[in-house]
Homo-oligomer: A and B are copies of this chain.
Amino acid sequence: MGNNFYVPGFLVSVANAGIKGSEKEDMALIYSETPAVVAGTFTRNQVKAAPVILTARRIKSGLAQAIIVNSGNANACTGLQGKKDAQEMTALVARGLNIPDQLVLVCSTGVIGQPLPMDKVKKGIDQLLKNLTPKGWKEAAKAIMTTDTFPKLVYKEGEIKGIPFKLLGIAKGAGMIRPDMATMLAFFATDIAISPTLLQPLFKEVVSASFNRISVDGDTSTNDTALILANGRAQNPGKTREDFAPFAACLYEAATALAKMIAKDGEGASKLVEVVIQGARSIKEADQIAMTIANSPLVKTAIYGEDANWGRIMAAIGRAGVEIHPEKIDIYFGDICVVKNGLGQGERAEKEAHIYLKNKEVLLKIDLKLGKATTTWYTCDLTEEYIRINATYRS
Q: How distant is the Cα of A286 from the Cα of B326 in the complex, in angstroms?
A: 33
Q: Is A201 an interface residue (CB 8 A)?
A: no
Do A319 and B45 contact each other (CB < 8 Å), given the known contacts A312-B219, A388-B384? yes
> Which of B46, B112, B383 has a CB less than 8 Å from the CB of A324?
B46
Interface stretch among A13-21, A119-127, A290-298?
A: A290-298
Query: How far apart are A221's CB and chain B's nearest CB, in angstroms?
Result: 6
A171-199: which have CB < 8 Å to B?
Answer: 175-176, 180
Query: How far apart are A119's CB and chain B's nearest CB, in angstroms?
Result: 18
Are B395 and A305 interface neighbours, CB within 8 A?
yes
A305 / chain B contacts, CB cutoff of 8 Å: 390-393, 395
A288 / chain B contacts, CB cutoff of 8 Å: none
Query: How far apart are A133's CB and chain B's nearest CB, in angstroms?
Result: 34
Q: Is A7 an interface residue (CB 8 A)?
A: no
A39-97: which have CB < 8 Å to B?
Answer: 44-48, 74, 76-79
Q: Is A217 an interface residue (CB 8 A)?
A: yes
A341-385: which have CB < 8 Å to B?
Answer: 342-344, 382-384
Q: Is A111 an interface residue (CB 8 A)?
A: yes
Q: Is A278 an interface residue (CB 8 A)?
A: no
Q: Is A164 an interface residue (CB 8 A)?
A: no
> Which of B114, B304, B319, B391 has a CB less than 8 Å from the CB of A344?
B114
Q: How distant is the Cα of A392 from the Cα of B392 in the complex, in angstroms?
A: 25
Do A295 and B391 contact each other (CB < 8 Å), given the known contacts A77-B314, A112-B312, A311-B112? no
Number of chain A residues whose Cβ lies closer than 8 Å to a Cβ of chain B: 62
Q: How distant is the Cα of A77 from the Cα of B180 in the complex, in angstroms?
A: 33
A288-325: which have CB < 8 Å to B?
Answer: 295-298, 301-302, 304-305, 307, 309-312, 314-319, 323-324
| Interface SS majority for chain A | loop
A309 / chain B contacts, CB cutoff of 8 Å: 112, 393-394
A238 / chain B contacts, CB cutoff of 8 Å: none
Are B343 and A77 interface neighbours, CB within 8 A?
yes
A304 / chain B contacts, CB cutoff of 8 Å: 387, 391
Q: Is A222 an interface residue (CB 8 A)?
A: yes
Q: How distant is the Cα of A319 from the Cα of B45 in the complex, in angstroms?
A: 5
Do A316 and B219 contact each other (CB < 8 Å), given the known contacts A79-B343, A344-B114? yes
Q: How distant is the Cα of A114 from the Cα of B74 in the complex, in angstroms?
A: 48
Q: Is A386 an interface residue (CB 8 A)?
A: yes
Q: How distant is the Cα of A218 from the Cα of B296 in the complex, in angstroms?
A: 7
Q: Considering only CB atoms, which chain B residue lies closest to A44 in the complex?
A: B319
Q: Considering only CB atoms, which chain B residue lies closest to A389 in the complex?
A: B301
A384 / chain B contacts, CB cutoff of 8 Å: 384, 387-388
Q: Is A220 an interface residue (CB 8 A)?
A: yes
> Which of B221, B298, B319, B386 has a CB less than 8 Å from the CB of A217?
B298
5 contacts between A and B (CB under 8 A): A79-B327, A79-B342, A79-B343, A113-B311, A305-B391
| Known contacts A45-B318, A77-B339; 6 further A-B pairs (Cβ under 8 A) | A46-B318, A77-B314, A113-B310, A180-B319, A220-B318, A382-B387
